[in-house]
Amino acid sequence: MRVGIDARALLAERTGIGVYTQEIARGLSAVPGVEVILFAPKEIPLGAVPPGVRTRTDRYPFGTVWVQTLLPRRLAEESVDVLLSAVTIAPARLSIPSVPVVHDLTPLTHPEWHRRKTVVAFLPWIERTLERAAKVIAVSPATAAELAARFPDVRGRISVIPHGVDPRFSPGAAAGEAEAVRREYTRGRPYVLSFATLEPRKNLGALVAAFERLWRDDENRPDLLLAGGAGWRSETLAAAIAGSPYRERIHRPGYVAAEAVPALFRSAEAFCYPSHAEGFGLPLLEAMACGTPAVISTAPALLDVAGDAALSAPAGDIGGLAEALACVLDDPEVRRRCSERGLARAALFRWSDAARLTAEVLRASCAARPAA
């Protein structure tokens, strides 16, 4: 079976969908009888292409137009059997089965959280993509439930296949690692980590407000490290930080290279992910795999991933978020329990399992043909 993957998410800084694309390509290429080809409108950086995976790229400036015009032609030229649409949207006209991966529906449900180009690339095409899909992959039970509620006709074609976690994310820190990380990112101070693109959906303004409460109560609590690239409408967050009396304790290193990320998790006192909504929440899984206690919002997908391993508060409840963070930071028994449960929970998520289940869905989809 020759599988084509829409690899547009590998062209920019690799966040959630980019990590998914890279890891699912790597995993599928290890499944017997599966050949993987990555397709993109531009050259894919070499470091993003897993060993043994071929690429077919163009020199085209507009990704959305490329999907609808050139991608079908490239798939036919490479005799691809099935398309895995890792960025969800598939070509409207396609002679082979397509399997869209639905990470979340927020461009549809909350377009104000996204850049206009993201909304324009999603809304006109999502219904047609789902209508034509042989099968549909949802990355969490929460995403599957929302997908089935909004598009009832697709319910019987949905398979839930969660992400995995790279073995690099583990609790085994090298000697002196935490001290070195703190020197580099927080001027030597202990910190609580948030790892997300700085954009409204991630609710980082509430996290800053919660920490201001924590510091007012006890100035000895850890600093806050907001790791992640600037995203859509990050100016409001930047202004809130600039106006905070505790701005010197809020650190923004920007996008952190993949090789440095595991140490960032391991060296944190805790991890906090207060998003309004997520499709999965890969940084939460990575934090748990490192044994880092976690505090999350009550976004359904985050609760799916964490199980009983994290403390939670509603995204809009700044006081509840501060209380949960204080509990994790101040109570050694709570920290120990969250860490142990997080490690056990993270062990259930493997990219090899995700690839095996995805290969099964793709093989099944090859028996179906897209609607005329």
Sequence-ordered list of residues with C-beta below 8 angstroms from that of 197, at least 6 positions apart, any chain: 15, 228, 229, 230, 231
d(CA 266, CA 193): 10
> What length is written for the chain?
372
Q: What is the pTM for the complete model shown?
A: 0.95
Please say whether the beta carbons of 36 and 54 come within 8 A: yes
Residue ranges and CATH numbers for the domains of the chain are 2-164+351-365 (3.40.50.2000), 177-346 (3.40.50.2000)
> What's the whole-number mean pLDDT along residues 258-277?
97
d(CA 282, CA 21): 13
Q: State which amino acid sits at residue 293.
A: P
Hunting for tokens 């967050």 — which residue is that? 237
Average pLDDT, the chain: 96
pLDDT-based confidence at 233, cuts 50/70/90?
A: confident
> What's the whole-number mean pLDDT along residues 241-246?
97
pLDDT, one tens digit per residue, over 291-329 is: 999 999 999 999 999 999 999 999 999 999 999 999 999
pLDDT, one tens digit per residue, over 187-204 is: 999 999 999 999 999 999
Render 302-339 in DSSP notation, one character per residue: HHHHHTTSSEEE-TT-HHHHHHHHHHHHH-HHHHHHHH
User: Which of 357, 353, 368, 366 lies closest to 1, judged by CA?
Assistant: 366
d(CA 193, CA 215): 16
